[in-house]
Chains A and B, each alone.
Chain A
Amino acid sequence: MGQSFLFTFFALSTCLSAIAVVVSQTVVRMAFWLIISLGSTAALFFLAEADFVGAAQLLVYVGGTLVLLVFGVMLTASGPYLKIATAPGETIVAGLLGMLFLFMVYSSVGDVQWVGAEGVSAVKSAGDGGLQPGNTLRPIGLSLFGLRPDKDLDGDGPAAPGYLLPFEIVSVHLLVVLIGAAYLARAKRSRAANQ
């Protein structure tokens, strides 16, 4: 009861502020509504017993990426409240197309019978006493390390694949991105100095 009230509250605030992102014209207001939307999504993750993902969403997305975006807004604004308006015709067409698209996506998604979707948490059914729902920190850590206690404990087949290789690839990718972003920003500054 309380849970479904909270779910409704956060689902509504996620969706309504996502719509507000689309509707609002100044980019800082868009950023504000995006924060509300992503923060409520983090709350939905907590409700779905994914506490680590929710915290990562708050830390990386809301605290990191969005601050970076607003920083970009400040660096690229030529006036106090920069408005680049969309033509009203475009907005109406896009809105109609979006409604159609949403209807199409949701009606096709709603018809699917998902395998195993009986409302039981998958983490809970893994059978190990250490893996409680909403306590996904250790299983996620182990799976990033290449071990899958949630899958391997009750089965006797071959070991389930972990995520060690993707983890390493992502870390190298982040290093590349770090260097690339620094390079791009640096090139900009030297050209400005030349002019």
Chain B
Amino acid sequence: MLAAQSIAEFLNSFTWLNGYGYVLATIVHALLLIHVFAISPFAFIWLERKVSGRIQDRLGPTRVGGLFGWLQSLADGIKLIQKEDLCPPAADSMLFRSAPYIVCVSSFAAFMVLPFSHGWVAVAADCGLFILLAILSLEVFGIIMAGYSSGSKWSLFGGMREAAQMVSYEIPLAICALIPVVAAGSLNLGEIGSMQRGWIGNWFLFHDPFTFIAFFVYFVVATASCKRAPFDLAEAESELVGGFHTEYSGMRWSFFFMGEYASMFAVCGVASVLFLGGWNTGIGPIDDALYQARAGGSGSAGEWSAGYLANVLGALVFAAKASFGVFVQVWLRWTLPRLRIDQVMTTCLKYLVPISCFLFLGATAWPLVFRQAFTITTWNSPVGDRVGEGLQEARRAGVVPAAGSQESESGSESESEEVEPASAASVQPVSPMPELPGEASSSVVLSAKDVREVSQ
């Protein structure tokens, strides 16, 4: 157990499993992620009720489960399970019944590539951010299906609004998410996260002025793409009764909300990995100590558990940052009034898209202009150098960089709809190799030079 880098490796070390270790590891990963997926809405629904209560000068839930009413979500869930599962006669029943599952599955599958700590990711895909954005963009389809198949005018309006809003807001969302990618030179979320180790100035939020603004634009757009107020036009209850979920009841109704809260957590987690340092604390010495603990190798049980504890701490830091993002979204919802649909579209197409395009250009030009023309060192050390150093250290220490053994499975086993998140690849409880992710990048840069030489 101590020597194994991933659950899959650990399970495959039992010979009697006959190669079914990957299947078991898949199931283990899926179960772990399902718990994250189930518990985060549980916590955030309670948070929403409590925060809204406080903002409106009420107490919020206080009765169920002790002092702060923290079991309120469970009580809500039990109530919803008991409700009758209705399907209106005007509805297209197959689509009506399957729409909540599309929403739920797509926001659940987004957790598959989201790293919770160093190496704690179900699929360590090289284009992780791209896959994540792709999967999150599927959620809208469930909403449109629900709106269209309900056979009700309110639902249809909600679905159409959602379609228009999502198709527009995907563009600035992707561009803003690409800005830290330009700064990092990688789409791998784990790699981006581990680049921001050290003092708080290493976070991509403070990398340059463009990433700083991009964070706030990203947050606004992410709020809109989770259809949270002030952008919740799809379910605007003052005009559309309930919008796309008017006709739903019981568990199917609650699936929409589980999906919504889980995708809030997902986009805030992406924000914290891309801009806020991910699982790094932002305090230099602590981060270095944690990094040493993680890199300490798997020699003895003490080292292994130190590395494991460092990763647990990292996951807690990550969860705290992402939850703070969710808290801000809740806070916004109960503070700002809802926009009109034309204002929502205007905000996106006339303001957010040009702003994010400008930021993208600026972030691309920043290293070229400011680091070469004016020779200002804006940031302590360029990312590429640091990754290169880490790689060299690893080679000097004789640790064979073995990214391939994990990556090779990640593309293949993983992409089913429900079992997906758990590819045989690697939640790595312990990762003995320092700066593992940088390896691919530096070697490919070398090969590009080779190509130039060949072509001349």
Contact = CB atoms under 8 A, between A and B. Distances in A.
In the complex, A touching B (Cβ < 8 A) = yes
Interface of A: 1-3, 6, 9-10, 26, 28-29, 32, 35, 39, 42-43, 46-47, 49-52, 54-56, 58-59, 62-64, 66-68, 70-71, 73-74, 80-81, 128-139, 142, 147-149, 152-153, 156, 158-159
B451 A1 contact: no
B416 A58 contact: no
B208 interface: no
Nearest to B412: A47
A64 B398 CA distance: 46
A54 B164 CA distance: 25
B71 to A, nearest CB: 37
A51 B126 CA distance: 9
A46 B412 contact: yes
Chain A contact residues: over half helix, strand or loop, or mixed? helix
A149 B6 CA distance: 31
Given A138-B441, A149-B448, A153-B447, A55 B141 contact: no
A137 B187 contact: yes
Interface string B143-177: 01100110100001001100110110010000000
Contacts, number: 172
Given A43-B416, A47-B411, A55-B130, 14 more contacts: A28-B95, A29-B94, A35-B141, A54-B415, A55-B127, A58-B138, A59-B134, A59-B137, A66-B141, A67-B141, A68-B167, A71-B144, A147-B448, A152-B450
Interface stretch (B40-48, B361-369, B400-408): B400-408
Interface string B101-137: 0100000000000000000000001110011011101
B410 interface: yes
A22 to B, nearest CB: 17
Contacts of A148: 451
B21 to A, nearest CB: 10
Given A47-B415, A51-B411, A52-B127, A58 B148 contact: no
Contacts of B450: 149, 152-153
Contact of B412 (A42, A49, A130, A152): A49
Contact of A62 (B138, B187, B412, B447): B138
Contacts of A10: 415-416
Interface string B418-455: 00000010000000000000011101101110111011
A2 B413 contact: yes
A126 B440 CA distance: 15
A145 B244 CA distance: 43
Contacts of A55: 127, 130-131, 134
Q: Enumerate the 7 nearest inter-chain pairs by beta-carbon distance, A residue then B residue, closest first.
A: A134-B411, A63-B137, A130-B443, A59-B134, A159-B455, A58-B134, A46-B415
A59 B34 CA distance: 23
B90 interface: yes
A64 B167 contact: yes
Given A58-B138, A59-B130, A134-B410, A149 B444 contact: yes
A154 B444 CA distance: 14
A71 B451 contact: no
Contacts of A6: 412-413, 416
B443 A128 contact: yes
B166 to A, nearest CB: 7
A134 B137 CA distance: 22
A62 B451 contact: no
Nearest to B148: A28
Contact of B170 (A63, A128, A137): A63
A28 B92 contact: yes
B58 to A, nearest CB: 39
Contacts of B149: 28
A32 B414 CA distance: 23
B411 A46 contact: yes
A146 B162 CA distance: 39
B411 A130 contact: no
Nearest to B156: A74
Interface in B17-67: 19-20, 22-23, 26
Interface in B344-393: none
A67 B167 contact: yes
B127 A67 contact: no
Of the listed residues B138, B439, B444, the one surrounded by the most CB atoms of chain A closer than 10 A to its CB is B444
Contacts of B411: 46-47, 49-51, 133-135
Contacts of B156: 74
A179 B387 CA distance: 42
A10 B414 CA distance: 12
A158 B441 CA distance: 25
Contact of B454 (A129, A137, A139, A152): A152
Contacts of B237: none
Contacts of B408: 132-134
Nearest to B403: A132
B76 interface: no
A29 B456 CA distance: 55
A63 B134 contact: yes
B330 interface: no
Of the listed residues A42, A131, A137, the one surrounded by the most CB atoms of chain B closer than 10 A to its CB is A137
B295 interface: no
B444 A130 contact: yes
B140 interface: yes
27 contacts: A2-B424, A6-B413, A32-B98, A46-B411, A46-B412, A47-B412, A47-B415, A50-B411, A52-B130, A55-B127, A58-B137, A62-B134, A63-B141, A67-B144, A67-B166, A67-B167, A70-B141, A70-B163, A130-B443, A132-B404, A134-B408, A135-B407, A135-B440, A137-B187, A138-B441, A149-B450, A153-B447
Interface in B223-252: none
B90 A80 contact: yes
Contact of A59 (B95, B133, B151, B166): B133
B127 A26 contact: no
A137 B413 CA distance: 18
